[in-house]
A and B are shown apart, each in its own frame.
Chain A
Amino acid sequence: MVSEFVGALLSQDIPFLRYALIAGVLSSMAFGVVGTYVVVQRISYMAGAISHAVLGGIGLALYLNRAQGLTFIQPIHGALVFALLAAVLVSAVSQRARQREDTILGALWSVGMAVGVLFLAKTPGYVDPMSYLFGNILIMSRQDLWLIVGLDLVILLVAVVFYHQFAAVIFDREFAIARGLRVGMYSTLMLCLAALTVVLMVGVVGIVMVVALLTLPAAIAGLFCRSLKAMMVTAALLCMIFTSTGLGVSYAYDLPTGPTVILIAGIAYALALAVRRFRNRGGAVQIKQGEVEQSAGCWRGVQDGEAVETGSHNV
């Protein structure tokens, strides 16, 4: 079965399988890195709203392409524009109108999809929204692949260059402001990265399920990793494993790829939670040892020689 899959990958007749694998493996790096940011900052609901709003852009792009004859506009272009617009909007709302954040996110989510569906309805020829909602590796082209490669590099570059700033904003926003960091800008940038990342896998898993692929590998990694960097690398590897396994399984059993990938990620997360729980029970003795070490390494402070006088003040 595995050799059959490998054979299919190498076959010239079905390039889309190869494209999907390459797209999956490449995108996984961005998914691991950005997914970690999204998970530790707990903004997966924002990523969800952005990814759903992307359908508006896909619909608009297809409409312009087919109804208006602007053939250079591809669905992925519309997806990119809408994703970035949605990210900037979400960021502005979360910074300026916090009280209404969930309402506006919900509206963005639905209105984006409504726009997409209406455009698709007015697009000549038959367009199956299912392909974009739940992924369809058949819609991926060689051009898309190049765009994915480029985007992947941009995302990774930004995420690495601003790593310490992002980490500071996530860990302690108030302190980051007190250090003079432009926290609002970094938050917006982070959401834009999430938006671009989501678009990378529209072809493989679709916009409805892509958030799971963004968050589950990072969430699994978060259960076992003790640094953000380790979390990012582990999440990227897990994402690669999920997408390529999902692709293989869906090919072998003739299943839709997107749901297969997501189901594998979901099962892995459930297993990871179980393993973590089990390990915590067994690890009770180790934790006790750690406590002893901790108190042994306790602070030997500055106070030697400087007697702290409590009574000398005329309070």
Chain B
Amino acid sequence: MSGYAIELDRVDFSYGYVQVIVNASLRVTESEFVYVIGPNGGGKTTLLKLIVGLLKPQSGAVRVFGMEPEKARSRIGYVAQQSSHDLSVPMTVREVVLMGRLTADRIGGYTTSDLLAADRALERLGMSELSDWQFADLSGGQKQRVLIARALAGEPDLLLLDEPTANIDPAAREDIIGLLEHLRQEITILMVSHDVWFVPEGVTKVVCVDKTVAVHPTSEVTAEAVYQMYGKRARLIRHDRLSEEVVRGGV
């Protein structure tokens, strides 16, 4: 066992001829709270999908809890960006959350423990009262909470979130960040965000993704670095010595 929750070793990924991720290495130990930032199109979502195993790297290796991502899926809770589900399918909030209990090898109906886990997850997100509502009728922030509850219903050891606070109001955003800050005491969290000015409490690592992956301890992410990355698209932020080690370590 490697002891790492997530391990990327010199990963390359491209959509056709477009290189999205180049020689990315990353190690996340268990119970870390990792905050992933980077410009649009920089490969943040791709990185997340590589970790879930929705995408396969062209070269390099991805390991989750020392396993191939496909084998670790029952331990992963995944909250995608809001576009992947079909709102025209009639589903109650509880039904959506229960999907988080599905695994590869089960058939038939949900058990009592499934129902309890779903209810617990809904309660954590403060959505218990809306559990019989139609998912499609909820507001954006409420939907996002249900999707996080769905990921938590599977009782994951690793929670991956893709811009969970995009397109929702500031109050809902603070609620979700508060929950994550609370959850980080129990599980490993990796959260993608477009918000570089607000790094949640308890974040242990900030990962900047713009084709390549650069890792920074929270204290080292300076305003200057962020300006550099976003102001001039092509330039990477200044690497401190530690992250140089992580990024180039395997080369």
Contacts and interface: CB of A to CB of B under 8 A. Distances in A.
Interface of A: 40, 161-165, 167-168, 170-182, 222, 225-228, 230-231, 290, 294, 297-303, 306, 308-310, 312-315
21 contacts: A40-B90, A164-B109, A167-B89, A171-B99, A172-B99, A174-B54, A177-B54, A178-B52, A178-B80, A226-B134, A227-B91, A227-B92, A228-B89, A297-B130, A302-B124, A306-B182, A308-B174, A308-B181, A314-B218, A315-B196, A315-B198
A228 B182 contact: no
Interface in B94-141: 95-96, 98-100, 102-104, 107-110, 124-127, 129-130, 133-134, 137-139, 141
B99 A175 contact: yes
Contacts of B218: 313-314
Given A172-B84, A228-B90, A315 B199 contact: yes
B46 to A, nearest CB: 13
A315 B88 CA distance: 41
A164 B110 contact: yes
B186 interface: no
Nearest to B91: A171
Contacts of A182: 104
A301 B122 CA distance: 11
B112 to A, nearest CB: 15
B145 A315 contact: no
A310 B177 CA distance: 11
B78 A300 contact: no
B154 interface: yes
B91 A314 contact: no
Interface residues of B, number: 64
Nearest to A40: B89
Contacts of A299: 125-127, 141-142, 145, 172, 175
B179 interface: yes
A175 B95 CA distance: 14
Contacts of B134: 226
Interface of B: 52-54, 70, 73-74, 76, 78, 80, 84-86, 88-92, 95-96, 98-100, 102-104, 107-110, 124-127, 129-130, 133-134, 137-139, 141-142, 145, 150, 154, 172, 174-175, 177-179, 181-182, 196-199, 201, 218-219, 221-223, 226
A180 B109 contact: no
Contacts of B78: 175, 178
A172 B99 CA distance: 9
Nearest to B139: A294
A173 B174 contact: no
Given A179-B104, A225-B90, 12 more contacts: A40-B89, A161-B108, A175-B84, A175-B150, A180-B73, A226-B92, A227-B95, A299-B172, A302-B179, A308-B201, A313-B198, A313-B218
A161 B175 CA distance: 38
A178 B179 CA distance: 22
B88 A40 contact: yes
Instruction: Indicate the member of A170, A299, A308 with the most B CB atoms within 10 Å.
Output: A299
A310 B134 CA distance: 34
Nearest to B182: A302
B91 A301 contact: no
Given A313-B198, A314-B221, A172 B85 contact: yes
A217 to B, nearest CB: 15
A182 B104 CA distance: 7
B90 A231 contact: yes
